[in-house]
Amino acid sequence: MAGPSKTLTIRWSTDLLTGLQFAAIAMAGGSIGARYPFGDPSHMGAGFFPKAVCSLLALIGTGLVTRAFTGGQEVVGEIDPRPLLLLVGTLVFGLVIEDLGFPLAGLVLVLFAHLGGRVFKPLGTSLLAIGLVGLCVLVFAYGLGLNLPMTRFR
Amino acid sequence: MEFFNNLALGLSVAMTPINLAYGFLGVLLGTAVGVLPGLGPVATISLLVPITFALPAPAALIMLAGIYYGAQYGGSTTAILVKLPGESSSVITAIDGNQMARQGKAGLALATAAIASLIGGTIGTAVIALAAPALAEVALDFGPADYFSLMLFGLLAAVIIAHGSVVKALGMILVGMLLGTIGTDVNTGMERYTFGIPALGDGLDFAIVAMGLFGIGETLISLDRNEGPLPAIRNLRGLWPRWADVRTFLPAAFRGTALGGALGLLPGGGPVLASFSSYALEKKISKSPERFGHGAIEGVAAPEAANNAAAQTSFIPMLTLGLPSSAVMALMIGALTVQGITPGPQLMEQRPDLFWGLVVSMWLGNFMLVILNLPLVGLWVNLFRIPTRFLYPGILMFCCVGVYSLNTSALDVFIATLFGLLGFVCHRLRCEPAPLLLGFVLGPMIEENLRRALLISHGDPRVFMERPISLSFLILSLVLLVMLVAPAVRKTREQAFQEGKA
């Protein structure tokens, strides 16, 4: 384990942030959906349902924000952003799999996974990465016949 | 007579080598993920859904079902031995089960859990076999308005039973519904929220949403929690209970089965609620409630029977109405839909092999599980010792491979990444991701039934009040809403979940 971890502390309440998140989603959904025809109840248009859902969501978002200001709130607290490196890993996986093949993409994924979990060790991580890639090639490419790029050697 | 013919048909389906093999694989995997904390049936089933596309429908359903009820068995093992419930439905088992283990009665606790699970599981399956066909017949009379009201009721019930804030859960359902509208609107042919990306024309693939939210998201969350391993209890002698023990735990197991089986039917009910409620019931009716929390054998038998009974009966709404009552059932519906099968009242007539094959496989599976979990318990304890640093990169890679190979599309990997992030953010904001998935699956069904109901009634909303079935569900929904606002109910609900955390 690495030394004391760097964390991010958010002092905002979960209600407030959730409310804002819901309101933002509702606004985005509502404004994009504004150009879908609404129709009328007997012949609902494509926009009827999305608009109904967005209005309700906006209502709930507002309710949460209001609740955040009336006490009884729980703050988000400490966040360790380090595990988010896993998402960088899956992103890179998606970026390289088609051009550079699954084996390389898989190795990179395990690398980021261990960096994100603070358990990276050069030798241990490489061995695990090679083992996991080998297992996936065996099970998925050969066993189940899935089409993973650059796993068939002709 | 027809019932036995049906069972014979089910037996012939379940006993074919391929279905037996996949059933066994399912319960084996289920036990494994049950034992492993941080990896639950929802995540595992989402990971395996893409693989089932290549299987025949009965084998796929039998395997996925096996994972679900198998996890209920495996979850109790770590709950008892390490006080680390592998599943949320085993949280309550950990209280008395682990106390028993500390008093040197680990073997007895494990045996009690397994036997109670078997009782709950087999009776729960019998309830499916007896009740589902009758319910499906009733469901054939359901019109669009009835379905709409039923789904409304189901979603509200799911919210009440979910952990945490009700308002947040409602919001998550709505976000899920909005995500469900992505793609081409089936009625008007208009593309909604596709941002000009052709691949989104068919909508978001639910398997990708599920793998992102639960596979990638849960991995992130487990790292965030940073749980260290706890010392396991290794003394497993005395697996077979004595008669005095049996006399204490059998009635508790049957009460747990009855309560769990009933609660499993409720939308949003399922194993977690069942185990909490049955524990509370046992404590209430016991002559010596002070033993609870200090190794009461009823405190292991009742919740374990209840969570297994509920796991079985929660299949009923899915199989007879086509309605998912939980995230797992939503996944099953998704897997069946890809196979070209629409779960619903017609399923039993159109695919009796599928329904009865599943029922019989559940019986077989429950017996396999007892064998897997009792004599082989030492094996699973070792599995528990696999360090997480080996485990989570593997889960992550399985996710990525699964997502990518669904449509051989890198875009899907990016979408799953986005949902992984969403899962993490929601976790930190104390929102459960499961209601989102329910909304995502139910959203299009709700829109379709609302549209049809209003089309038939020429836009008159009174149609929902005029049909008796629809009206009753609306009244039930109203009752639920009133209960939600009533302070007394809120208090009990909070207490129930608080007790679970203790």
Q: How confident is the model at residue B275 (pLDDT cuts 50, 70, 90)?
A: confident
Structure tokens at B244: 């005095």
Q: Is the Cβ pair A53, B181 closer than 8 Å?
A: yes
Average pLDDT over residues B88-107: 83
Which pLDDT value is given to residue A6? 67
Q: Is the Cβ pair B405, A79 closer than 8 Å?
A: no
Which pLDDT value is given to residue B364? 92
Q: How far is B400 from chain A (nearest CA, A)?
A: 7
Lowest mean pLDDT among B213-217, B222-226, B251-255, B426-430: B222-226
Question: Would you call A132 an interface residue with chain B, using a CB distance cutoff of 8 Å?
Answer: yes
In terms of C-beta density within 10 A (0-12 exposed, 13-18 middle, 19 or more buried), how is residue B373 classed?
buried
In sequence order, which ranges of B140-235 are alpha helices (DSSP H)? 144-161, 166-180, 206-210, 217-225
Average pLDDT over residues B405-428: 91
With beta carbons less than 8 A apart as the criterion, state whether B212 and B479 touch: no
In this predicted structure, the answer to whether residue B382 has a pLDDT above a threshold of 80 is: no
Average pLDDT over residues B91-105: 85
Nearest to A87 among B171, B420, B429 (CB): B420
Nearest to B400 among A17, A53, A109 (CB): A109
In this predicted structure, the answer to whether residue B385 has a pLDDT above a threshold of 80 is: no
Q: How confident is the model at residue A2 (pLDDT cuts 50, 70, 90)?
A: very low
DSSP assigned state of B278: H
Classify each residue of B93-113 as buried b or exposed e, where b means 16 or more C-beta atoms within 10 Å of its C-beta. Answer: bbbbbbbbbeeebbbbbbbbb
Interface of B with A in 412-441 (CB under 8 A): 413-414, 416-417, 420-421, 424-425, 428-431
Closest-CA residue to B169 (of A55, A110, A18):
A18
Which pLDDT value is given to residue B489? 61
Q: Is the Cβ pair B429, A64 closer than 8 Å?
A: no
This complex has an ipTM of 0.92
Q: Which residues make beta-bridge pairs with A44?
A: A39
Nearest to A86 among B170, B219, B425 (CB): B219
DSSP assigned state of B187: T
Q: How far is B387 from chain A (nearest CA, A)?
A: 11
Q: How far is A46 from chain B (nearest CA, A)?
A: 6
Distance of CA B368 to the CA centre of its chain: 20
Distance of CA B148 to the CA centre of its chain: 22
Task: Give CA–CA dist B65/B86, Å, rounded.
Answer: 18
**pLDDT per residue as tens digits for the range B255-266:** 999 999 988 887
Q: How confident is the model at residue B501 (pLDDT cuts 50, 70, 90)?
A: very low
In this predicted structure, the answer to whether residue B495 has a pLDDT above a threshold of 80 is: no
Q: What is the mean pLDDT of chain A?
A: 87
B49, B151, B224, B404: best to mutate for the A interface, most A CBs within 10 A: B404
Average pLDDT over residues A88-107: 93
Report the SS3 class of residue B426: helix
Question: Would you call A113 an interface residue with chain B, using a CB distance cutoff of 8 Å?
Answer: yes
Which pLDDT value is given to residue A53? 95
B429, B431, B447, B449: best to mutate for the A interface, most A CBs within 10 A: B429
Which pLDDT value is given to residue A3? 43
Task: Give CA–CA dist B61/B351, Å, rounded.
Answer: 12
Nearest to A42 among B398, B430, B454 (CB): B454
In this predicted structure, the answer to whether residue A87 has a pLDDT above a threshold of 90 is: yes
- What are the residue ranges spanned by the domains of chain A? 8-79, 82-143
Average pLDDT over residues B204-233: 75
With beta carbons less than 8 A apart as the criterion, state whether A31 and A52 touch: no
Q: Which amino acid is it at B342?
A: T
**Chain B residues with CB-CB distance to A95 below 8 A:** 410
Q: Is the Cβ pair B429, A76 closer than 8 Å?
A: yes
Q: Is the Cβ pair A136, B401 closer than 8 Å?
A: yes
Q: How confident is the model at residue B227 (pLDDT cuts 50, 70, 90)?
A: low
Task: Give CA–CA dist B436/B357, Å, rounded.
Answer: 31
Which pLDDT value is given to residue B323? 82
Model's pTM, two decimal places? 0.81
Which pLDDT value is given to residue B45? 85
Task: Give CA–CA dist B458/B477, Å, rounded.
Answer: 24
- The sign of the CA dihedral B361, B3, B319, A46 is positive
Angle (CA) B113 B391 A91, round 5° = 130
Task: Give CA–CA dist B171/B165, Å, rounded.
Answer: 10
With beta carbons less than 8 A apart as the criterion, state whether B174 and A25 touch: no
Q: How confident is the model at residue B226 (pLDDT cuts 50, 70, 90)?
A: low
Angle (CA) B311 B206 B24, round 5° = 40
Closest-CA residue to B446 (of B150, B137, B136, B141):
B150
Question: Would you call A20 an interface residue with chain B, using a CB distance cutoff of 8 Å?
Answer: no
Angle (CA) B100 B104 B107, round 5° = 75
DSSP assigned state of B102: I
Nearest to A60 among B170, B401, B410 (CB): B170
- The sign of the CA dihedral B393, B434, B78, B332 is negative
In this predicted structure, the answer to whether residue B445 has a pLDDT above a threshold of 90 is: no
A8, A17, A49, A112: best to mutate for the B interface, most B CBs within 10 A: A49
Which pLDDT value is given to residue B493? 61
Which pLDDT value is given to residue B499? 54
Q: Is the Cβ pair A36, B404 closer than 8 Å?
A: no
Q: Is the Cβ pair B397, A67 closer than 8 Å?
A: no
Pairs of CB atoms within 8 A across A/B? 178
Q: Which residues make beta-bridge pairs with B176?
A: none
Q: How confident is the model at residue A127 (pLDDT cuts 50, 70, 90)?
A: very high
In this predicted structure, the answer to whether residue B84 has a pLDDT above a threshold of 80 is: no
Task: Give CA–CA dist B96/B100, Å, rounded.
Answer: 6
In this predicted structure, the answer to whether residue A37 has a pLDDT above a threshold of 60 is: yes
**pLDDT per residue as tens digits for the range B302-334:** 999 999 999 899 899 888 888 887 788 888 888
Q: What is the mean pLDDT of chain B?
A: 84
Question: Would you call A148 an interface residue with chain B, using a CB distance cutoff of 8 Å?
Answer: yes
Q: Is the Cβ pair B428, A109 closer than 8 Å?
A: no
Which pLDDT value is given to residue A26? 95
Nearest to A45 among B168, B188, B405 (CB): B188
In this predicted structure, the answer to whether residue B117 has a pLDDT above a threshold of 70 is: yes
Nearest to A49 among B181, B220, B226 (CB): B181
Lowest mean pLDDT among A40-49, B59-68, B376-385: B376-385
Task: Give CA–CA dist A71/A68, Å, rounded.
Answer: 6
Give whole-number Cα distances, B156 to A17, B162, B268, B269, B325, in Å. 23, 10, 9, 11, 11
Which pLDDT value is given to residue B491? 62
Residue A39 backbone dihedrals phi, psi, to 5 degrees? 70, -160
Residues contacting residue B484 through CB under 8 Å, at least 6 positions apart: B159, B160, B166, B490
Structure tokens at B360: 């019989």
- Percent share of chain A, pLDDT over 70: 92
Which pLDDT value is given to residue A1? 39
Task: Give CA–CA dist A7/B185, Å, rounded.
Answer: 44
Chain B residue nearest residue A146, CA to CA: B405
Closest-CA residue to B165 (of A22, A81, A9):
A22
Nearest to B454 among A44, A86, A91 (CB): A44
Task: Give CA–CA dist B261/B309, Å, rounded.
Answer: 5
In sequence order, which ranges of B322-467 are alpha helices (DSSP H)? 327-338, 347-350, 352-373, 377-384, 388-407, 410-428, 434-456, 463-466
Closest-CA residue to A85 (of A114, A105, A106, A107):
A114
Nearest to A90 among B54, B165, B413 (CB): B413
Distance of CA A16 to the CA centre of its chain: 21
Chain A residue nearest residue B439, CA to CA: A53
Residue B387 backbone dihedrals phi, psi, to 5 degrees? -65, 145
Chain A residue nearest residue B420, CA to CA: A87
Question: Would you call B485 an interface residue with chain A, using a CB distance cutoff of 8 Å?
Answer: no
With beta carbons less than 8 A apart as the criterion, state whether B289 and B300 touch: no
